[in-house]
A and B are shown apart, each in its own frame.
Chain A
Amino acid sequence: RKEVEQDPGPFNVPEGATVAFNCTYSNSASQSFFWYRQDCRKEPKLLMSVYSSGNEDGRFTAQLNRASQYISLLIRDSKLSDSATYLCVVNQAGTALIFGKGTTLSVSS
Chain B
Amino acid sequence: DVKVTQSSRYLVKRTGEKVFLECVQDMDHENMFWYRQDPGLGLRLIYFSYDVKMKEKGDIPEGYSVSREKKERFSLILESASTNQTSMYLCATLGIERGSNQPQHFGDGTRLSIL
Contacts and interface: CB of A to CB of B under 8 A. Distances in A.
Q: A and B bound?
A: yes
Interface of A: 32-34, 36, 41-46, 49-51, 87, 89, 91, 96-97, 99-102
Contacts of A100: 42
B42 A44 contact: no
Contacts of A50: 101
23 contacts: A33-B101, A42-B108, A42-B109, A43-B106, A43-B109, A44-B43, A44-B90, A44-B106, A45-B106, A46-B104, A49-B101, A49-B103, A50-B101, A87-B42, A89-B103, A96-B31, A96-B94, A97-B33, A99-B42, A99-B43, A100-B42, A101-B42, A102-B42
A49 B97 CA distance: 15
Nearest to B106: A43
A89 B42 CA distance: 12
B109 A97 contact: no
Interface of B: 31, 33, 35, 40-43, 45, 48, 58, 90, 92, 94, 101-109, 111
B111 to A, nearest CB: 8
Given A32-B101, A34-B103, A43-B109, 13 more contacts: A32-B102, A34-B101, A41-B111, A42-B108, A42-B109, A43-B108, A46-B105, A87-B42, A91-B102, A96-B31, A96-B58, A97-B104, A100-B42
Closest 10 A/B residue pairs (Cβ): A101-B42, A43-B106, A99-B43, A32-B101, A46-B103, A49-B101, A43-B109, A96-B48, A34-B103, A96-B45
Nearest to B33: A96
Which of A44, A46, A102 has the most CB atoms of chain B within a 10 A radius of its CB? A44
Nearest to B43: A99
Contacts of A32: 101-102
B57 to A, nearest CB: 11
Contacts of B94: 96-97
B90 A43 contact: yes
Contact of A101 (B35, B40, B104, B107): B40
Contacts of B40: 101
A41 B111 CA distance: 9
